[in-house]
Structure 1
Amino acid sequence: LRQGEPNWAEHSAMFSSVVNTALIYEVPLVVWGEDIAFEFGGLQRQESKPSALEIDNSDLIKEKTIKDWLDNDVSERDVFFYTYPDYDKLKEAGINSIYLGHFLPWYGRRNYEIVKARGFVGRQNGPLSGNFLDYDNIDEKLCEINIWFKYLKFGFWRATDQCCYDIWNDQMTRDEAIEIVNRLSDEFPKEYFQDFLRFHNVSEQEFWDTVEKFRNKDIWEMESGQWKLKYPLK
């Protein structure tokens, strides 16, 4: 509730647990997919590089560490796999970590076609609410609410992300994207909302109270009892 980013702990564990496991079992090479900041935008302040050794230094983690959440009930021992190892320790152990996207052309739609030919199927009920694609981020139930918070803060979320990626890869025009984004962006990710509430042990009222704390009033305005973007995509 304080963070306004429900998947922060999940992302922290995802990066830290993999690299800690590599240290424990002396695995010399860790291979990730794409460099998220380079592919999708974010806190990219310099040219992207193949090394993913500092993967925890990203938009997903920001300046926080798991130690910010320690209290009398949670000790450092409890959060070992949420704690990213020291960079020097990784170098001394000879652990290399790379982004595969620097060695292969990285495009989600192309990746999907490759795995589809090998048996993978998209979401059988069609795209999730607010989504244009039926195969993107369908491996868990919590992420959609997390991404939807981006809509409150920045005025865009899944549909914009997915359409921009297709535009970059010459698979869609801007006019086509505008129609899709304006049609889908106001959809709330309802499919797993109750699962989200149960997992985080919050009531629906607590959720909506928290939502309003993070709504960016610079880009949203109340109109006829409903929140509307001040600057819709045109």
Structure 2
Amino acid sequence: MAKEVFWCSSCLNMSTRPRITFDQEGRCNACQWSDEKKTFNWKEREEELKKNLKKYTNASDNYKVIVPVSGGKDGSYIAHKLKSDYGVEPLCVTVRPPLETKIGQENVYNFVSSGFSHVHVSPDEEAMAALNKYGFIEKGFPYYGWLICIHTAVLQIAKRFNIGLIFYAEDGEIEYGGSTEKKFQATYDVSYQRKVYLEGGYEKVLEKAKLDESKLFWFKFPSEEDCKKITLTHWSYYEAWDSYRNYLVAKEHCGLKETEDTNTGTFTNFAQNDQALYALHAYLMYLKFGFGRATQDAGIEIRRGAMTRDQAISLVNLYDNNYPENFLDLYLDYYEMTEDDFNKVIDKWVNKDLFDKVNGRWQPTFTIK
């Protein structure tokens, strides 16, 4: 390997993770944050939540806030908390994902039926497929079109309903090891969203896709002036984030169902169940950086005290290097590619310092320590 890699001494976060940092004891900033949260006065942050709710819910005669939801655990949990604990009726927005799964459809239906107002956005399928294919080939990001849309479409809805506050789930940069720029800021703006979550340059993707303008409405941000009227926030700022707790609450109150078997590439069955492309995204992440879906899930379990590091290593070795064979025909049909061309795209994004190809599949040259 060109540069020696290492792993967090507490969890399994890898030194290859973008924007991650480690302390002198070799602990990643996600583990440091997990301990730091235990010292917080969360009542003070709850008061900040109440002030923000009062500020923005007095600003509109329509729905007061938006919660983006997929039918999964986190958005369901936030919507439930707003309604049951704070008396705020959110407008929930789902952007229909590509290659939507049956259980994903069922979970959205169950969530809405549990008592929420809901807008279901179905962007133009041709545009979504073209942007996702471009993202897969040119960015190594197999649902980049959908990633754009889950931000832009929600903002377009906020503009039309004159809603000034949008609740996203956790700040993944802070919770899982990344930039700590917003650690002590409750809210952020659209410019930060564009820079961090769309990795910059999304306009070039729209331009190079060469799609008719009429198909791109849901993939574009509102005007700069309109965006300045909308404030974004993460629920994880106001309450210690616990994805497993969210799952239990969503299961009890919002009808959330998990898959019968473990999900492709990991040992869990209750998260990211709404679309088939997530498995490809996780596999590409593994080939780029050396860690996949199981590593991320194991880190969450270690930090909440439900798993030892040694147990996590065994699970990661078992699950992370998982070519999504079960979805291959679906991917080839969706991207309109041959298997050979599909694998050439995958090969293009492999970190050759971390992997060698053996019998047609990429195998790690590293051993987790």
TM-score range, shorter chain: 0.7 to 0.9
User: Which TM-score applies when normalising by structure 1?
Assistant: 0.88
User: 5+ residue gaps in structure 1?
Assistant: none
Partner of residue 69, structure 1: 206
User: Which TM-score applies when normalising by structure 2?
Assistant: 0.58
Give 1:77 deviation, angstroms: 4.5
Q: How far apart in 2 are the matches of 1:97 and 1:182?
A: 37
Contact 1:128/1:189 (8 A) holds in 2: no
What amino acid is the match of 1:128?
Answer: N
Give 1:11 deviation, angstroms: 0.6
> Among residues 111, 135, 142, which one is paired with 2:277 in the alignment?
142
Output one character per residue of 1:29-71: Cα deviation in whole Å (capped at 9) or x when no partner.
21111112222234x152433214232322x421221343325
Partner of residue 55, structure 1: 193
What amino acid is the match of 1:21?
Answer: I
1:92-171 residue pairs with structure 2 within 5 A?
93=229, 95-118=230-253, 119-124=255-260, 126-171=261-306
Give 1:73 deviation, angstroms: 4.2
User: 5+ residue gaps in structure 2?
Assistant: 1-136
SS of 1:209's equivalent in the other structure is helix
**Whose radius of gyration is greater, 1 or 2?**
2
> Among residues 141, 153, 178, which one is paired with 1:5 in the alignment?
141
Give 1:226 deviation, angstroms: 5.2
Contact 1:67/1:76 (8 A) holds in 2: no
1:75-94 residue pairs with structure 2 within 5 A?
75-85=212-222, 88-91=225-228, 93=229
Instruction: Out of 113-122 and 175-184, give the one that drifted further.
Output: 113-122
Partner of residue 37, structure 1: 173
What amino acid is the match of 1:62?
Answer: E
Q: How far apart in 1 are the matches of 2:209 and 2:358?
A: 45
What amino acid is the match of 1:110?
Answer: R
What amino acid is the match of 1:56?
Answer: R
What amino acid is the match of 1:81?
Answer: W
Output one character per residue of 1:7-36: Cα deviation in whole Å (capped at 9) or x when no partner.
111110101110121112211221111112
Contact 1:153/1:216 (8 A) holds in 2: yes
SS of 2:362's equivalent in the other structure is strand
Is it true that 1:199 corresponds to 2:334 in the alignment?
A: yes
- TM-aligned CA distance change 1:207 to 1:76, over 3 Å: same
Is it true that 1:177 corresponds to 2:312 in the alignment?
A: yes
SS of 2:139's equivalent in the other structure is coil
- TM-aligned CA distance change 1:120 to 1:149, over 3 Å: same
Contact 1:130/1:184 (8 A) holds in 2: yes
Q: How far apart in 1 are the matches of 2:267 and 2:188?
A: 29
Q: How far apart in 2 are the matches of 1:51 and 1:188?
A: 38
Q: How far apart in 1 are the matches of 2:188 and 2:286?
A: 28
What amino acid is the match of 1:17?
Answer: A
Instruction: Out of 66-75 and 132-141, give the one that drifted further.
Output: 66-75
Q: How far apart in 1 are the matches of 2:350 and 2:208?
A: 28
Output one character per residue of 1:176-204: Cα deviation in whole Å (capped at 9) or x when no partner.
10011011112222333322222222221
How many pairs were matched up? 229
Q: How far apart in 2 are the matches of 1:120 and 1:158?
A: 21
What amino acid is the match of 1:122?
Answer: E
Contact 1:65/1:83 (8 A) holds in 2: no
Partner of residue 367, structure 2: 232
Contact 1:32/1:97 (8 A) holds in 2: yes
Partner of residue 17, structure 1: 153
Q: How far apart in 2 are the matches of 1:222 and 1:206?
A: 16
Contact 2:283/2:321 (8 A) holds in 1: no
SS of 2:233's equivalent in the other structure is strand
- TM-aligned CA distance change 1:163 to 1:24, over 3 Å: same
Q: How far apart in 1 are the matches of 2:173 and 2:348?
A: 26
Q: How far apart in 2 are the matches of 1:214 and 1:71?
A: 20
What amino acid is the match of 1:178?
Answer: I
Give 1:133 deviation, angstroms: 0.6
SS of 2:273's equivalent in the other structure is coil
Contact 1:147/1:158 (8 A) holds in 2: yes
What amino acid is the match of 1:22?
Answer: A
